[in-house]
C-alpha cells in the first residue's frame, strides 16, 4: 500500500501560553475567594484534551469538567491525581467506572442520587440543580424532598451547581431568576461550594460567582459579545495552503452555483481548506484572508476540501505552497462565527476536529503536531 508523508494543507495553531494567560486573568478577575474550574469537554472544544488540560494544570487549575466517561478515562490516563468531574454519564449505570478511575459524577436526577447514597459516604459527587435551563438537574422540588428525607445530611454533595441559559445577555431577566432560584437551594443546603456561572456568567458580576466559576470557552479566546474590549487572548490561529493560482476572464463563474462572477480579468487562488476541515459553508463571499500585509476576499461557495480567493490586487506572486491566514489576532473565531451566522463554540469545535493542530508554547515535552482524527493517545 502506498504511504505518503506530506505536510498538512491546513494548520490550526493553538497557543497554550494564551490558554494559561486566559485562565490566570479570569482567576484574577473573580478574586482569590472564587475557585476557577476548567471545562475541557468535547476534546477541549476541539483543541485537544490532554494538551489543553496540561496547560491548565500548569496554570494552577485543580478541577476539570468533561462531557462523559470516555473523555474522563482518557484524561485520567494522562493525569493520575487531578480532580475530574463528568457532566453526564449515569452513576447508577456506570458507578464501577467512576470508582475504579477516581472520577466525580455530576448527579443529574434522583436515580443517580439514590445510587450515590447506596455507594456510601466515601463517594464524592456534585449535585446539579435545574433553575431554568431545562437540561438535566434535580428540580427545586426534588431538592426539597430529598432535604426533608435528610439525604443531603447523610450524603452531602461536594459542590452544588447549576447552569445559566442566557449568561451572554447581561440584560436578560432569566439570569436574575436563575440566580435567585439557585440562591434558594444554596441557602437550604449550605454547601461547601456553589457554582452557577460558566464563561459568560463570569462577566455578570460577583453575585453570580458564588464559590466557583466553571470556565470553558473563555479559556480558548471566545469572548461574550457584550464584553468590550475583549479581555481574552487569541488562542487559535488558522492558516491554509494555496494549491493553485489561475487567471479567470471577466464574467466567468467561480465555484458551485455560480454565486460569484468576476467583473474583470482576475487572478484566483484555490486554497486547500473546505467544510471538511470545519470551515463554515455559510461564510462564503463574506470574509477575507490575509497574505502577509495584504488581504484577499473569499469568493464563491466553499466546497468540501477547497475555497477560492481573489488575489488580483495582491502585489507580487502568490505561488502554490504559500499559506494564507484565516484566523489571526485581527480576525478571530468570534469574527468568523459572526460572519457565518453560527456561534463561535461550534466554529472552534469543528475546526479543531477537522484540522491538523500545531501547539505553540508547550510547557512540557509532547508532540507539537496532532493530525485529526487522532490515533488513540496521540495528543
Residues annotated as catalytic are 41, 256
Host H or E run for residue 151: helix 151-154
Kindly tell me the burial class for residue 249, based on how many C-beta atoms sit within 10 Å of its own C-beta (0-12, 13-18, 19 or more).
exposed
Largest CA distance in the chain: 79
Does residue 240 contact residue 9 with C-beta atoms inside 8 Å? yes
Does residue 368 contact residue 379 with C-beta atoms inside 8 Å? no
Number of H helices, E strands in the chain: 12, 19
359's grid cell: 501547539
Neighbours of 248 (CB within 10 A): 19
Q: What is the SS3 assignment for 29?
A: helix
Cα–Cα distance between 30 and 22 in angstroms, integer? 12
Closest C-alpha among 134, 142, 135 to residue 113: 142
Amino acid at each position: 500500500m502506498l504511504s505518503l508523508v506530506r505536510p498538512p494543507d491546513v494548520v490550526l495553531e493553538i497557543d497554550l501560553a494564551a490558554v494559561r494567560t486566559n485562565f490566570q486573568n479570569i482567576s484574577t478577575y473573580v478574586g482569590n475567594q472564587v475557585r476557577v474550574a476548567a471545562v475541557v469537554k468535547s476534546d477541549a472544544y476541539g483543541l485537544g484534551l490532554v494538551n489543553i488540560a496540561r496547560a491548565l494544570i500548569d496554570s494552577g487549575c485543580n478541577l476539570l469538567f468533561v462531557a462523559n466517561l470516555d473523555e474522563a478515562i482518557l484524561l485520567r490516563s494522562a493525569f493520575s491525581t487531578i480532580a475530574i468531574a463528568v457532566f453526564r454519564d449515569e452513576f447508577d449505570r456506570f458507578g464501577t467506572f467512576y470508582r475504579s478511575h477516581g472520577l466525580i459524577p455530576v448527579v443529574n436526577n434522583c436515580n443517580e442520587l439514590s445510587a450515590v447514597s447506596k455507594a456510601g459516604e466515601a463517594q464524592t459527587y456534585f449535585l446539579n440543580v435545574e433553575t431554568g435551563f431545562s437540561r438535566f438537574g434535580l428540580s427545586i422540588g426534588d431538592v426539597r424532598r430529598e432535604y426533608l428525607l435528610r439525604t443531603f445530611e447523610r450524603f452531602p454533595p461536594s459542590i452544588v451547581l447549576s447552569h445559566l441559559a442566557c449568561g451572554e445577555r447581561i440584560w436578560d431577566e432569566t439570569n436574575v431568576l436563575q440566580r435567585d432560584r439557585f440562591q434558594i437551594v444554596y441557602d437550604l443546603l449550605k454547601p461547601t461550594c456553589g457554582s452557577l456561572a460558566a464563561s459568560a456568567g463570569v462577566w455578570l458580576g460577583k453575585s453570580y460567582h458564588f464559590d466557583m466559576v466553571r470556565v470553558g470557552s473563555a479559556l480558548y479566546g471566545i469572548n461574550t459579545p457584550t464584553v468590550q474590549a475583549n479581555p481574552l487572548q487569541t488562542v487559535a490561529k488558522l492558516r491554509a495552503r494555496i494549491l493553485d493560482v489561475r487567471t479567470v476572464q471577466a464574467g466567468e463563474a467561480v465555484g458551485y452555483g455560480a454565486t460569484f462572477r468576476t467583473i474583470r480579468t482576475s487572478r484566483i487562488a484555490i486554497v486547500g481548506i473546505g467544510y471538511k476541515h470545519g470551515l463554515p459553508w455559510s461564510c462564503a463571499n463574506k470574509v477575507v484572508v490575509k497574505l502577509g500585509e495584504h488581504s484577499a476576499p473569499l469568493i464563491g461557495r466553499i466546497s468540501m476540501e477547497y475555497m477560492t480567493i481573489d488575489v488580483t490586487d495582491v502585489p507580487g506572486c502568490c505561488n502554490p505552497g504559500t499559506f494564507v491566514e484565516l484566523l489571526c489576532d485581527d480576525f478571530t473565531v468570534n469574527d468568523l462565527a459572526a460572519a457565518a451566522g453560527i456561534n463561535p463554540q461550534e466554529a472552534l469545535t469543528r475546526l479543531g476536529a477537522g484540522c491538523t493542530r500545531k501547539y505553540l508554547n508547550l510547557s512540557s515535552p509532547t508532540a507539537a503536531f496532532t493530525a485529526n482524527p487522532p490515533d488513540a493517545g496521540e495528543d
